[in-house]
């Protein structure tokens, strides 16, 4: 049985997603780099080819647009047959509702729409020896347990934190529902990583190091864990 997987990485024309794409491709998997803008995605694919000599595929995907999601599903099914916002200051007492709605559209509603649209492909391609995998890239700030502790931080990032906490809740339910189907569903924290998302804040991991934290969770076998909220130091509290 081939160990090659077909893997879609959303929002992967830059940052951690971009690094994860080439790490997965280097292991021989068929990887789709997804981006909202076609030009950005095509440029990222060419960059991986030029710098890493790796072939990856591009699919245009805007997780907030159902037509874009359905087109991506159709493309990958045809080709393969199987398969945040910090910029607006806000506090809990003075939230920016527009920012919260926009962030939930991507991190929560968009994630659910994309996941459920691809589920038929994941179900059809999942086998006992090579299960399909769903991985939600999460954050320590998505943990209500952690954010209620004295060690917590960035409570003012209300839109991002609450959207990621809601996404975690969905992943818990999805992991339970898909367990009998053998599909592995997890959340993983890459850790503080210096990327465009945090305005390239200094002191974090490189995007490639952040992606390395996710790599093993993308490639789980039949004995792999499901329903976990993990980071590179073990298990994180929900």
What are 135's strand-pairing partners?
Answer: 186
Structure tokens at 55: 């072939």
The owner of tokens 């459920």 is: 116
Q: Is residue 42 part of a domain?
A: yes
Give the count of domains, the chain.
Answer: 1
Which run of H or of E encompasses 59? Answer: strand 57-60
DSSP helix/strand/coil, 7 = strand
The pTM is what? 0.78
10-residue stretch averages of pLDDT, the chain, 238 residues long: 76 94 94 95 96 95 93 89 61 86 91 95 89 96 96 90 97 97 96 81 89 94 96 94
3-class DSSP assignment, residue 153:
coil
Identify the domain containing residue 213 by its residue range. 6-83+87-235
| Any domain includes 154 | yes
pLDDT at residue 99, rounded to an integer: 83
218 domain-assigned: yes
Q: How many Cα neighbours within 13 Å face the side chain of 21?
A: 31
- CATH at 140: 3.40.50.720
1 domain residue, yes or no? no
**CA separation (Å) from 214 to 30, 190, 191?**
17, 6, 10
pLDDT of residue 83: 61
Who contacts 75 (Cβ-Cβ below 8 Å, separation ≥6)?
Answer: 59
């Amino acid at each position: 049985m081939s160990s090659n997987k077909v893997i879609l990485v959303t929002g992967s024309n830059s940052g951690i997603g971009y690094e994860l794409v080439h790490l997965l491709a280097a292991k021989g998997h068929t990887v789709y780099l997804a981006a909202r803008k076609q030009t950005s995605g095509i440029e990222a694919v060419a960059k991986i080819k030029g710098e890493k000599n790796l072939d990856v595929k591009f699919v245009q995907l805007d997780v907030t647009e159902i037509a874009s999601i359905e087109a991506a599903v159709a493309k990958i099914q045809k080709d393969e047959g199987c398969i945040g916002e910090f910029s607006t200051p806000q506090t809990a007492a003075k939230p920016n509702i527009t920012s919260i709605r926009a962030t939930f559209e991507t991190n929560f509603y968009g994630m659910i729409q994309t996941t459920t649209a691809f589920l038929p492909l994941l179900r059809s391609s999942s086998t006992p020896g090579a299960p399909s995998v769903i991985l939600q890239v999460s954050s320590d700030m998505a943990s209500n347990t952690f954010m209620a502790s004295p060690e917590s931080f960035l409570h003012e990032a209300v839109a991002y934190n609450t959207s990621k906490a809601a996404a975690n809740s969905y992943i818990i339910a999805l992991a339970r529902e898909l367990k009998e189907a053998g599909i592995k569903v997890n959340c993983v924290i890459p850790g503080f990583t210096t990327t465009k998302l945090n305005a390239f804040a200094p002191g974090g991991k490189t995007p490639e190091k952040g992606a390395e934290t996710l790599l093993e969770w993308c490639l789980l076998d039949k004995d792999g864990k499901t329903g976990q909220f993990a980071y590179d130091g073990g298990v994180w509290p929900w």
